[in-house]
Structure 1
Amino acid sequence: MALVSGPGRGGMSDMPVEMRLFVDKHVRYIQSLDTRKDELEYWLTEHLRLNGLYWGLTALHLLGHPDALPRDEVLEFVLSCLHDNGGFGAAPGHDAHMLYTVSGVQILATLDAFDELDRRVPGGRQKIGQFIAGLQDPETGTFAGDEWGERDTRFLYGALNALSLMKLLHLVNVDKAVEHIQSCANFDGGYGTSPGAESHSGQIFTCVSALTIAGRLDLVDHDKLGAWLSERQLKNGGLNGRPEKKEDVCYSWWVMSSLANLKRLHWIDGRKLTEFILQCQDPELGGLADRPGDMVDVFHTVFGIAGLSLLKYPGLAEVDPTYCMPREVTRRCLGK
């Protein structure tokens, strides 16, 4: 669904201020993130470093500035987080984990660097694939996050996401994974972190996207789940993660990505949501916050921009609702 008819890239200056995305400010904000090493926050968020790089790089691509970060430095950092066992840590010296491994693969895919990976780390792609495959429980089909065994549908989705980008989905039992997702389905059409857990928009994203990758969206009641997701929109236009909770910019992605895959995106008020997302910008220093007036961060910045892309905001590159990556990148990797 088109948000507005009218200006394409370069025409945003003609839009009213309240409907304007401050692209240049957001680009500079993301570029500044690795220069704040004298701030406590920088070191307190070291456990999110690789994730943060994926969030920032993805936002820059969607904003139309794919070269705003130095490619060679990004690639060097990513490879410095790779362990001999094929898993990625959040930063050099951190333990390998599924969540960071997925971000590592997504960054490599975005940079079109899989061949470089294999040249610099012989058999690198295969090692990563084997690390991910080794975290699948053969009995239940679900995945652990690391060697310590925590299980969550986020890890299952991450596994299918990364393996499909590397064309290594055959390394795992996809049918068993699908069975596990179905065991997490609830009466309201939603999904939780595990069987019996409460439906939550974030977990619904992981399950619907995993089923999309597996080619099994036929298992989802599109109307029932679409209705539950559309009810996440509040009067101010923002979306929440579950009933009786506050709105948050990040749910612009978690909710709408599933609606997009279910072909029900038109069930929410796109213009009101757009206005809410844009109110969460810092118009001076760039970045987006969870809600208007709060501190910005790169997590909410990428998911706000990705949400605007789903709403076809003028000038933004198309985002893939299954992968939260530029559509042009996933088409290249998946051959679609």
Structure 2
Amino acid sequence: MDPITFDRERHVAFLEMMLERLPEDYEAQEINRLTLAYYVVSGLAVLDALDRVNKEQLISWVLSYQVHPISDADLKNGKFFGFGGAFQNFSNDDGKVSEHNFGHLASTYCAIAILKVIGYSFSNFEFTPILSSMRWLQQPDGSFIPIHVGAEADLRFVYCAAAICFMLNNWTGMNREKAREYILNCQSYDGGFGLVPGAESHGGATYCAVAALNLMGFIEMNILTKFSQPFILDINLLLGWCLEKQSTDGGFQGRTNKPSDTCYAFWVGGVLKLLGGYQFCDRDLLRRFVLSCQSPYGGFKKLPENIYPDVYHSFYGLSALSLLEEPGLKPLQVELGIPAVI
């Protein structure tokens, strides 16, 4: 395959194959079924190839992962009634095996995103339990944990919560002001964002911060009115940090002194797109880097020197090319991380 030629049909064939059966290397990702499906289905959507998907079958499959409360009391016990990543078997005291599913913010984001991408109507979707129980996951500092017990809190899950509320057009599931304060506290001295306050700036965390602020309606307000101290989003410093992440090979780093990686062509490129600074990066060199990560088997690899593609880097490689307006690809709704739904 010519490294600078985009081979659409090969990528469609790869993702269509991944939709039917994943390689055994993915067995360790059993609990992330909805996330893997999100990469594959959204990738096909970017390729304008959703005709390869049985939509009714997919809708039924996704909805089967939704966790439902049994009674009103369930909504008051702190559990999250979203979507779980997989069904898991547990042995009861009497030795019987029962099947359980636990709601997770990332899986819920992926489930709702899949449904939105394939055109599912949310008019008959009962999402009140999702939003009412999601409030339990927001912490006093404004961050979110992804599940009701035993999990970390960081920007990834603030983003998931904001995206869920945005897609459902209902913000009762979170306190936006508290979430805003947490996000802005994660901006580092160099302009980027760490996953938690005081952490090293990271491309994925920076995307989560900027995209969440955009979804919550704060980015435009910040540019026009400037938040009062101490919560000022320094956009000029942020743009500078993003542009500095483009390496001499054309790709974007996720962190300083790390190699370029296909996925950051979207994570960092998406931030630049949202803030109006995308025209300042070297887009020709970026395209050449992304295409150098194409696999001869279809799909995209993490690094040019890797051998095999994976669904994660395949989706974000395609998303990066969509930002670059590659012919034959659908445009993105950048802040949601999905193809634009018309």
In structure 1, what is the Cα distance between the partners aligned to 2:122 and 2:242?
Answer: 39
Q: Which runs of 5+ in 2 are unaligned?
A: 70-80, 89-100, 223-231
Q: How does 1:163-312 map to 2 (within 5 A)?
A: 163-217=165-219, 218=222, 219-283=232-296, 285-294=297-306, 295-312=308-325
- Give the secondary-structure state (helix, strand or coil) at the position aligned to 2:51: coil
Verify: 1:91 aligned to 2:86, yes or no: yes
Which of 36, 41, 57 matches 1:57? Answer: 41
Higher alpha-carbon Rg: 2
Spell out, residue by residue over 1:186-209, the C-alpha distance to the aligned partner (whole angstroms, 9 max, x if none).
111111111111111110000001
TM-score w.r.t. length of structure 1: 0.86
- Structure 1 stretches of 4+ with a deviation exceeding 4 A read none
Is this contact kept in 2: 1:64–1:317, CA < 8 A?
yes
Verify: 1:32 aligned to 2:17, yes or no: yes
Is this contact kept in 1: 2:249–2:285, CA < 8 A?
yes
Give the equivalent residue in structure 1 for 2:132. Answer: 130
Is this contact kept in 2: 1:64–1:316, CA < 8 A?
yes
Q: How does 1:75-154 map to 2 (within 5 A)?
A: 75-85=59-69, 86-93=81-88, 94-115=101-122, 118=125, 124-137=126-139, 139-148=140-149, 149-154=151-156
Cα offset, 1:47, TM superposition:
2.2
Is this contact kept in 2: 1:237–1:276, CA < 8 A?
yes
The letter of the residue matching 2:84 is G
The letter of the residue matching 1:60 is L
In structure 2, what is the Cα distance between the partners aligned to 1:46 and 1:76?
Answer: 19
In structure 2, what is the Cα distance between the partners aligned to 1:202 and 1:237?
Answer: 18
In structure 2, what is the Cα distance between the partners aligned to 1:115 and 1:142?
Answer: 27
- Give the secondary-structure state (helix, strand or coil) at the position aligned to 2:127: helix
The letter of the residue matching 2:302 is D
- Give the secondary-structure state (helix, strand or coil) at the position aligned to 1:57: helix
In structure 1, what is the Cα distance between the partners aligned to 2:143 and 2:44?
Answer: 33
- State how many pairs are aligned: 306
Spell out, residue by residue over 1:115-149, the C-alpha distance to the aligned partner (whole angstroms, 9 max, x if none).
3762xxxxx22222223232112x21211111124
In structure 2, what is the Cα distance between the partners aligned to 1:98 and 1:42?
Answer: 21
In structure 2, what is the Cα distance between the partners aligned to 1:130 and 1:114?
Answer: 21
The letter of the residue matching 2:294 is Q
Give the equivalent residue in structure 2 for 1:6. Answer: none
In structure 2, what is the Cα distance between the partners aligned to 1:65 and 1:230?
Answer: 32
Q: Which runs of 5+ in 1 are unaligned?
A: 1-15, 119-123
Spell out, residue by residue over 1:66-102, the C-alpha distance to the aligned partner (whole angstroms, 9 max, x if none).
2222112211221121111431111233532111011
The letter of the residue matching 2:57 is E
Spell out, residue by residue over 1:266-308, the C-alpha distance to the aligned partner (whole angstroms, 9 max, x if none).
121111110111111113x211000113120010001011011
Cα offset, 1:220, TM superposition:
2.7
